[in-house]
Amino acid sequence: MMQGRLFIWAGLALFLLALCLTAGVSLGSASIPAESVWSILVNKLMPGTFEPTWSAGRESIVWDVRFPRVILAGLVGAGLATVGAVLQAVTRNPLADPHLLGVSSGGALGAIIALLHTGLIFGLVTVPLFAFAGSLLATLAVVAVTRFTGAGADRLVLSGVAIAFVATSLGNLAIFLGDPRAAHTVVFWMLGGLGLAQWPHLLYPAMVLVGCLTFLVVRAREINAMAMGDETAATLGVPVARFRAELFVVTALLTGVMVAFSGAIGFVGLLVPHFVRLTAGSDNIRVIPLSALAGAVILIFADIVSRTIMAPEDLPIGVITGLAGGLAFILLLRRR
């Protein structure tokens, strides 16, 4: 019965993903019919399939501007929701989330340092590399503060909030000390933005997402054991300390790379796993992949709203997810 529900929800999520992908490319300051969108896509993948009935400008909007942006939104949404699902399981705290735990803030700090101070010293991988380092350092700092204060896993979020404030303050200091001409762009990026998406840049978040998601799904049973407590996990043969460290590194990598390409986007990692568990149960074999699909759908939809609500201006996507996420969280608290 549960297996049948899983296929139903997975099928629904894939259908909504295709629908949102189509809407994301079609809608904007210049609307483009859905049939033209898919005709252009097919022609790019298999040249000569359709006789072009669209202008070169429309083709450029679809292929060079909107498709990369929508795909990046899907990758980032999937990555952040996956991280949220794993952190909530391994810390046994329903409020665990890359944003609240300071992991996103650490990644943003690393990316700001790369953008404003070091430059692209390692080429295109510089910003993702610095963002990963910032996320990993923030994660280690949260663990260290939790141990220093003697708090348990249930107080981990409080340590994360403290580290998030510190990382955000350091990021603001880095912006203040950086080039004023680039500060405006960085501030807009910190609010969450996908406007700089380009085909060559999508390779990095896609590779990291596929690699991390595969690792997490394969190790989902061990994550289930961790969710039942350290003693239970150890009894079931899970090397608790080592496996928790592995999960923190994987989630830091995933968060850092996503933050590097989208800025700090909140509430996706917090809320999506909650709604997935309400419908699909608590088994992480189901929760992790379904959270990835649902996260992709939600962030693509949020991007559509951010591009159309004040067209032709782009509203930072972090504003949309913050407003919608805050209201949804209040409703979730009322339900609980």
**HEC per residue, 252-267:** HHHHHHHHHHHCCCCC
Q: Which residues contact 146 (CB under 8 A, 6 or more apart)?
A: 152, 153, 155, 156, 159
CA–CA dist 192, 315 (Å, integer): 9
How large is the average pLDDT for residues 182-204? Answer: 80
* Identity of residue 136: L
Question: Quick one: average pLDDT of 256-263?
Answer: 87
Q: Which of these, 199, 245, 197, lies nearest to 219 by C-alpha position?
A: 245
54-97 confidence digits (pLDDT tens): 778 888 888 888 899 999 999 999 999 999 999 999 888 877 88
The residue among 287, 278, 215, 254 whose CA lies nearest residue 80 is: 254
Which token pair is 208? 């990291």
Residue 336 has pLDDT above 60, yes or no: no
Residue 3: per-residue pLDDT: 59
Does 244 score more than 70 pLDDT? yes
Q: Which of 133-147, 214-228, 304-318 has the highest mean pLDDT?
A: 214-228
Residue found under tokens 């898919």: 38
Contact between 131 and 107 under an 8 Å Cβ cutoff? The reply is yes
- Return the minimum-mean-pLDDT range out of 47-51, 163-167, 261-265: 47-51
DSSP 54: S
Q: What is the pLDDT of residues 137-173, one digit of tens each?
A: 988 898 888 878 776 665 777 888 889 899 989 988 9
pLDDT bin (cut points 50, 70, 90) of residue 297 is very high
